[in-house]
Amino acid sequence: MTIEFSKYHGLGNDFILVYAQQMDAPTAVAMCDRNLGVGGDGVIVIGPSELADFSFLLYNADGGIAEVSGNGLRCVGKFLYDNGHHKDTTVTVEAAGQIKVLDLTVNDGVVTSVRADMGIPVEEPDITLHGRTWKRTTTGNPHATTFVDDIDAAPVTELGPLVENDPAFPNRTNVEFARVEGDIIHARFWERGVGVTQSSGTGSSACLVASGLRKATVRTRGGDLFIEREPDGRLFMTGPAVHVFDGRTA
């Protein structure tokens, strides 16, 4: 089966976008393979929705289905506008029953940034694992955040997989390591079903919640995201999305 796709990334967190086509987990895994496939942190399938303008289904690189992705949402918003599927600068997307509102900034016909409504986070009691305190937050999907003194020396690859698969998280969890410096949060990520990623939109949102700040620039390995929390608790994320290339499978 030939699949037409587009490759996009949000601050280095890269996705294969498939529009109005069938997809299954084995195919997604094959396409995400960086040596034998297209290469990506996940495959996003965009389709029709009865609740929003479009539906959003994300397969992680391991074939598991994730609830949502902040960086992926921005990529979808740009893809839809780029390809003429939606010409309004506001678009709604249904992801695992959540309705996400995307506001596109367009300059000279080009989407330069996307602001996404990430919803109201759910905060759970802290947990101690591997000698560290982890703040548990759901920002569309589950997260565990710990604070470190040296972001460059953070034990991402050592503790990331251990925390992701800890029994305390029945559906596994995304993992963040963060350091706060004024209104800047430095962050690194271990994503459930993927591993190390250059950036994470929902992870950056979780870092803001864990920090207690109302707004901050989250500085990731891939670049900066601006996260803000409204008085009602709702989170908004603003950042870029980049088109890499289009293609089709053999």
Residues of the chain with CATH 3.10.310.10: 4-115+240-248, 122-233
CATH superfamily of 122-233: Diaminopimelate Epimerase; Chain A, domain 1 (3.10.310.10)
Q: pLDDT band at residue 230, thresholds of 50, 70 and 90?
A: very high
Q: pLDDT band at residue 1, thresholds of 50, 70 and 90?
A: confident
Q: What is the pLDDT of residues 151-207, one digit of tens each?
A: 999 999 999 999 999 999 999 999 999 999 999 999 999 999 999 999 999 999 999
Q: Considering the entire predicted model, what is its pTM?
A: 0.97
Residue 222 scores a pLDDT above 90: yes
Q: What span, in angstroms and rounded, lies between the C-alpha atoms of 7 and 243? A: 6
The pLDDT, as a whole number, for residue 82 is 93
Burial of 217 (0-12, 13-18, 19+ CB in 10 A): middle
Q: What is the pLDDT of residues 85-143, one digit of tens each?
A: 999 999 999 999 999 999 999 999 999 999 999 999 999 999 999 999 999 999 999 99
Q: What is the pLDDT of residues 14-32, one digit of tens each?
A: 999 999 999 999 999 999 9
The pLDDT, as a whole number, for residue 250 is 84
Q: What is the CATH number of domain 4-115+240-248?
A: 3.10.310.10
